[in-house]
Every structure is written in C-alpha cells, then in structure tokens.
Amino acid sequence: MSKLVIVGTVAFDEIETPFGKTGKILGGAGTFIGLAASQFNVDAAIVSIVGDDLPKEYLDLLSSRNIDISGIEVVEGGKTFYWSGRYHNDMNSRDTLVTELNTLADFNPVVPANYKDAEIVMLGNLHPAVQLSVLDQMDEKPKLAVLDTMNFWMDSALEDLKKVIARVDVITINDEEARQLSGEYSLVSAARKIHEMGPKYVVIKKGEHGALLFNNDNVFFAPALPLEEVFDPTGAGDTFAGGFSGYIASTKNISFDNMKNAIIQGSNLASFCVEKFGTERMVNLSKDEIKQRLTQFKALTQFEIELD
Amino acid sequence: MSKLVIVGTVAFDEIETPFGKTGKILGGAGTFIGLAASQFNVDAAIVSIVGDDLPKEYLDLLSSRNIDISGIEVVEGGKTFYWSGRYHNDMNSRDTLVTELNTLADFNPVVPANYKDAEIVMLGNLHPAVQLSVLDQMDEKPKLAVLDTMNFWMDSALEDLKKVIARVDVITINDEEARQLSGEYSLVSAARKIHEMGPKYVVIKKGEHGALLFNNDNVFFAPALPLEEVFDPTGAGDTFAGGFSGYIASTKNISFDNMKNAIIQGSNLASFCVEKFGTERMVNLSKDEIKQRLTQFKALTQFEIELD
C-alpha cells in the first residue's frame, strides 16, 4: 500500500442547479479527492485548513474512510472556506455567487512527518505557492506528483504555477485551460507544449466529452459515461483526480498502461459523483456498484477488430 | 460479398477554410460514402443524378473503385448540384455561401435492377422523399437500412422524414440534430425517443468528440482520433457513414458487436478524410495506412482493468 499525500480544500459548498439547491454542505477539492482515493487500498492523508465552524462529523467522515486528517489544521475561531455557485441549464457552465477564502487566506500547509516519505503526491486545485510548499516538504521527489489546477491561477499566479508545473509528472486541466496555458487550439499541439513545460503526462479533461491522456506520442482516451442526467457536476474533476491518483497509489505502478486504467477509474468514480448533490453519492457508494459500472465502461469502449 | 445500395449526391463543392480555398472539386454525400465503402470488400452502387458538366474523370474515378455507377443519371445539358461553403476558424461551424440544386431539384432515383436485392441500403443525406423512393424500389426489406440526415430536413420536410425514420434500422445524426428531433437535451434520453420512432440503432455523431451507438440499453462510444489539425471537415460525416455501412456489408454481420467495429472503421476513415480538401485524401489512401491507424484507435481506447 502506497502513501498518498493530498493537498486541497475542505470547504463549505452551497450549490444551486436546475434540480434544486442545497444549504451549506461538505465540499472542497481535498474532500472529493480523498473520498475518491479512499475507494482504493491506499494510506492517504489530506493536508488542508478549516475553521472550527466545520461540523466535527465532516472530519469524522474522512477519518472513517481511513483518511489521515492530522494534516488538516483546525483554526480556533476561524471560518472555513466557503463557495457558492449556480449551474446553468446545460450544466456545463456555472456562476460563482460567493467565494469567502476565510482561513484559506493564510494557509501554510504542513505535511505530517509520517507522510513526508509518501510515494504519490496529489496537488489539488489551490494557490500554486501552497502546492509548491507541499512538494518542498517531501523528504525526496515522490515517485509521482500529480497537479490539478485551473484558469484562475493562470490569470492570477502564472509564475508560481509554472514553477509547480515544472516539478510535477502529471498535470490535469480542462480543454479550455490547456488552450490558455499553451496558446494552442489543437489539444494535440497543446499537450506537446505543456510537455515542454515539465509534465511527462498531460491529462486534458473535456467534461461530458471524456478525458485524454498524453505521453509524448502516446495518447489514451476515456469517455465520460453517457448519463441520462447530470444532477450536480460539483467535485467531478476532483473525484476524477482522486480516482486517478488513488488507483496509481494502490497499484504502485506508474507505467503508461496503468495510467490508462487510472484514467478509467477516475472517470468511473466521477460518473457517480455527478448523480447527487456534493459528496452525497460518493459517501454512499459500494465496491459492487463501482465494479458493475467498470463493466459498463468496458462495454462502452472495448471492441474486437482483427488486424490480420 | 454483400450488395450495398448508396443514394446520395454527386456534386461540385467549393470550399474555403483558414488553410486555403479550392475551386470546384468533386464532392457530395454519395461520393464520400462510396469512396469510404469501397475500402471494403463490397459490391456497391451509387444512385444519384448529375449534369453533363461533371467531368467524366469523376465518374471514372468512382468506377475505378469498383463502384457501380449505372444508377447515376447524367442529364444532358443539365448542371450538377453545387455547394460552396466557408469554415470558421474553429472548423466546427461553417457558412453555406451558395447552394444550387440544379439537376437535383428533379431527382427521381432509380435503383438499378441488379441492385434491388441488395442486403444493405445506405440512405445518404438527401430529401427524405428521395430516400423513401429508394426503399420502395427494393425487392424486399433489406437486411439493414441506414439513414443519414440533417436538421435541414427536420425543418423543411419533417413528415416525410419521420416516414423514413420509421422504416430504417440505423439512423446517424449529430448531437444537436438528435436533440432537435427528440426534444431531449440528454443524448441518452434523445436516443431512447428516437428508438421509439423506429430505428433499433441510433448513432449520434459528436464531431471531434466522437460518436455514440445506442441499441436500447447497450451503448458504445468511439472517439475521434485526436488530430493536430483538421484541414477540411467536408465529407467527414458521409465518410463515417460509408465506412460504417461498407464494413457491415463486407462482414455480413449486423450484430451489435460488429456494429461497434463498424463505428470504429467509420471513425477511422473519417480521420483521414479531414486531412486534405474534399476527396483528395480518400482517393489516395492505402490499406496499410488504414490498418496502421486502426492500431492507433486500439491504443487510444483499449485498456486492461482486471475485474476479479
């Protein structure tokens, strides 16, 4: 079993979709990544920061999934990061209504001593300076460092972001972000430019259109499972990243062929995430359901043309 | 070897893309379908109409591919259907500059006597009344009738279109058209509604995002090959349909599993079509190139997760 260090937000989300709206519920990239990774046989720790307004049951939930929470700083009298957003009818775009950084504004991540030797590091979407700090605290370069980021950091902290990008093995971003980062419209060309910035593996997420994994001239594609309805996309990208890194950690195999499997596992878990609000589906998910849906992914993509 | 009847336009196209512009060149759905189908071991005939302004070398080209052209009526003194269009920078949308129906305005398709027993019928994008007439001329219901159509006919000839849809086994349309035809946003729901209109198999083309094949609860997905650049998308959908129907005809197997292969073969051929203007790439395409790219499709999509 590999150790997996996850850095990411543990937060309050408040979500509105055409199907309804939530109150303040558990959210955050770190949360979604952790819940997804915990579906595999890993020794995972989340590094994060919250206020003491976060219900204890949320942290207990993470602990109950065998996620080490000693790296989640609880600031007495502090308020937890809060995000509120509203999805449009097509569910592909959303408006952020409120962002309150709160304790996140002064986040100095501290990797627990017994996780500084982790083989796998998953840098969830956060300020790149925070991500850099986590990498700096590791005893040695991890076997695999995976970075998730977004256009917000390209606009506001590009120099720091480039430093992180130069130090990771895998980057996961969406198609528009890949275009912005590379200045290339074609995703094939974009991936090549991003390779040159550091990462040997470039994962480009296309939402309902699936995800591409590039490793120089090798390309793999995983579709999103065609769903009757997407109920709430919040956390799908984080769940994908958590499934990816968790599967890699549990199999201890960073070959390209195993990354294909990891991409499928991430897509599989993300297909559940969007079925209910927030983390609801992810905390009520059985191994049998996961396996059954993997069978669907196989049926969806595997074919048998004989190439004589 | 199965017989394959193709009805579709043989036309002049004039195309402008960000990469350049052509003069009047060979185009038309029937042409692209025929060229794609002729890559397989089929006895194909094109039913169409042209004017005597169409250079004889264009018809000779089709003949040289073992495509029967006795069903292509040449109207003396008539002018061939002409379409001209300009693609936008993203290549995903285009403006039609000119459409001259010419001889196509009075097209009464005549299926050659020795093809009325064809096992497979491919109805290329045309007025649904023309498509119906071809079905009516067959000796008996073909083993597989495949329909390609577009939103233009939904807007202008919906009742006739519904009659054709009710009589075919497979329909291929793009995602927006599937939504328009069904009134459903989700493609899963759209496919279900379209099943109810007749076709047991619904193929939804998503352009650069690949294609979905639905057969009730069975779903298969084929990605488009990630390309560095799309040079000219003209004919890609027709080439896909031609590859699909041609492969089915050559294998004489209309099972869902073989349709998966047919979808891959169609996607594979379409990936070549877009590399050059018009039919240029399709007429200079070797069996080895096709096989080599099928290997790429396998690498792109196949994975090995053990489901113990």
- The per-residue pLDDT for range B24-64, each reduced to its tens digit, is 999 999 999 999 999 999 999 999 999 999 999 999 999 99
The band of B308, judged by pLDDT with boundaries at 50, 70 and 90, is low
Between CA B136 and CA B115 the distance in angstroms is 13
The residue among A222, A273, A285 whose CA lies nearest residue A32 is A273
Residues 6+ apart with CB under 8 A from A286: none
Instruction: Let me know the angle formed at the C-alpha of B48 by B43 and B52, rounded to the nearest 5 degrees.
Output: 120
Given a cut of 80, is residue B5 above it in pLDDT? yes
Q: What pLDDT sits at residue A93?
A: 84
Residue given tokens 């968790």 in the structure block:
A246
Residue B56 touches chain A, beta carbons under 8 Å: no
Yes or no: say if B175 and B206 are a contact pair by the CB < 8 Å rule.
Answer: yes
Between CA B5 and CA B47 the distance in angstroms is 7
Quick check: B307 and A298 CB within 8 A? yes
Residues from chain A contacting residue B187 (CB–CB below 8 Å): 226
The CATH code for residues B3-301 is 3.40.1190.20
Does an H or E element contain B215, and which?
strand B211-215
Given phi > 0 = left and psi -120 to 50 = alpha, else beta, which region is A194? Answer: alpha
Could you report the predicted ipTM of this complex, rounded to two decimals?
0.90
Quick check: B299 and A219 CB within 8 A? yes
Instruction: Let me know the angle formed at the C-alpha of A121 by A117 and A123, rounded to the nearest 5 degrees.
Output: 140
φ, ψ of residue B166 in degrees (nearest 5): -65, -20
Quick check: A294 and B303 CB within 8 A? no
Query: Residues for chain A: how many in total?
Result: 308
- What pairs with residue A4 in β-bridges? A44, A120
Between CA A303 and CA A261 the distance in angstroms is 16
Residue given tokens 């047991």 in the structure block:
B200
Residue A300 touches chain B, beta carbons under 8 Å: yes
Quick check: B226 and A223 CB within 8 A? no
Q: What pLDDT sits at residue B292?
A: 96
The band of B92, judged by pLDDT with boundaries at 50, 70 and 90, is confident
Yes or no: say if A296 and A226 are a contact pair by the CB < 8 Å rule.
Answer: no
Homologous superfamily in CATH for domain A3-11+19-81+103-301? Ribokinase (3.40.1190.20)
β-pairing, A82-87 with A11-17? parallel
Closest residue in A to B259 (Cα) is A303
Where would I find the H helices in chain A? 29-37, 56-64, 128-137, 151-156, 158-167, 175-182, 187-196, 236-251, 256-273, 280-283, 287-301
Structure tokens at A246: 């968790």
Give how far the C-alpha of residue B304 lies from the chain's centroid of Cα atoms, to the nearest Å.
Answer: 33
Residue from B221, B264, B287 to probe the interface with A (highest A Cβ count within 10 Å): B221
The residue among B196, B210, B216 whose CA lies nearest residue B256 is B216
Q: What pLDDT sits at residue A91?
A: 78
The residue among B303, B249, B242 whose CA lies nearest residue B268 is B242
Between CA A270 and CA A268 the distance in angstroms is 5
Residue given tokens 């592909």 in the structure block:
A92
Given a cut of 90, is residue B272 above it in pLDDT? yes
Residue B19 touches chain A, beta carbons under 8 Å: no
Greatest C-alpha distance within chain A: 69
Between CA B40 and CA B12 the distance in angstroms is 25
Structure tokens at B78: 């008539």
φ, ψ of residue A202 in degrees (nearest 5): -120, 120
- The 3-state DSSP composition of chain B as helix, strand, coil percent (nearest 5) reads 40, 25, 35
Nearest CB to B220; choose among A212, A219, A300: A300
Yes or no: say if A109 and A10 are a contact pair by the CB < 8 Å rule.
Answer: no
Between CA A281 and CA B137 the distance in angstroms is 54
CA A113 to each of CA A47, A70, A134, A214, B155: distance values in angstroms, whole numbers, following the listed order: 12, 10, 12, 34, 67
Residues 6+ apart with CB under 8 A from A200: A169, A170, A215, A216
Question: Helix (H, G, I), strand (E, B), or coil: what is residue A22?
Answer: coil
Residue from A221, A258, A271 to probe the interface with B (highest B Cβ count within 10 Å): A221
Given a cut of 80, is residue B233 above it in pLDDT? yes
Between CA B55 and CA B42 the distance in angstroms is 25
Give how far the C-alpha of residue A210 lies from the chain's centroid of Cα atoms, to the nearest Å.
Answer: 15
Residues from chain B contacting residue A298 (CB–CB below 8 Å): 305, 307
Yes or no: say if B179 and B185 are a contact pair by the CB < 8 Å rule.
Answer: yes
Task: Report the share of chain B in percent with pLDDT over 90.
Answer: 94
Quick check: B303 and A229 CB within 8 A? no
pLDDT in tens, chain A (308 residues): 799 999 999 999 999 999 999 999 999 999 999 999 999 999 999 999 999 999 999 999 999 999 999 999 999 999 999 999 999 887 778 999 999 999 999 999 999 999 999 999 999 999 999 999 999 999 999 999 999 999 999 999 999 999 999 999 999 999 999 999 999 999 999 999 999 999 999 999 999 999 999 999 999 999 999 998 889 999 999 999 999 999 999 999 999 999 999 999 999 999 999 999 999 999 999 999 999 999 999 999 999 987 76
Q: What pLDDT sits at residue A157?
A: 97
How many CB atoms neighbour CB A33 within 10 A? 35
Yes or no: say if A58 and A35 are a contact pair by the CB < 8 Å rule.
Answer: no
Structure tokens at A92: 């592909």
β-pairing, B3-7 with B120-123? parallel
Given a cut of 90, is residue B91 above it in pLDDT? no
Residues 6+ apart with CB under 8 A from B223: A210, A221, A223, B209, B210, B267, B300, B301
CA B155 to each of CA A95, B7, B128, B158, B186: distance values in angstroms, whole numbers, following the listed order: 34, 21, 12, 6, 21
The band of B271, judged by pLDDT with boundaries at 50, 70 and 90, is very high
Yes or no: say if B146 and B119 are a contact pair by the CB < 8 Å rule.
Answer: no
Q: What is the mean pLDDT of chain B?
A: 96
Between CA B279 and CA A76 the distance in angstroms is 70
Between CA B181 and CA A209 the distance in angstroms is 21
Residues B129-169 pLDDT 10s: 999 999 999 999 999 999 999 999 999 999 999 999 999 99
Question: Residue-wise over A136-162: b if at least 16 C-beta within 10 A, else e?
Answer: ebbeeebebbbbbbbeebbeebeebbe
- The 3-state DSSP composition of chain A as helix, strand, coil percent (nearest 5) reads 40, 25, 35
CB-based burial label for B258 (10 Å; 0-12, 13-18, 19+): middle
CB within 8 Å of chain B, chain A residues 224-263: 226-229, 257, 260-261
Domain residue limits, chain A: 3-11+19-81+103-301
Residues from chain B contacting residue A189 (CB–CB below 8 Å): 228-229
The band of B277, judged by pLDDT with boundaries at 50, 70 and 90, is very high
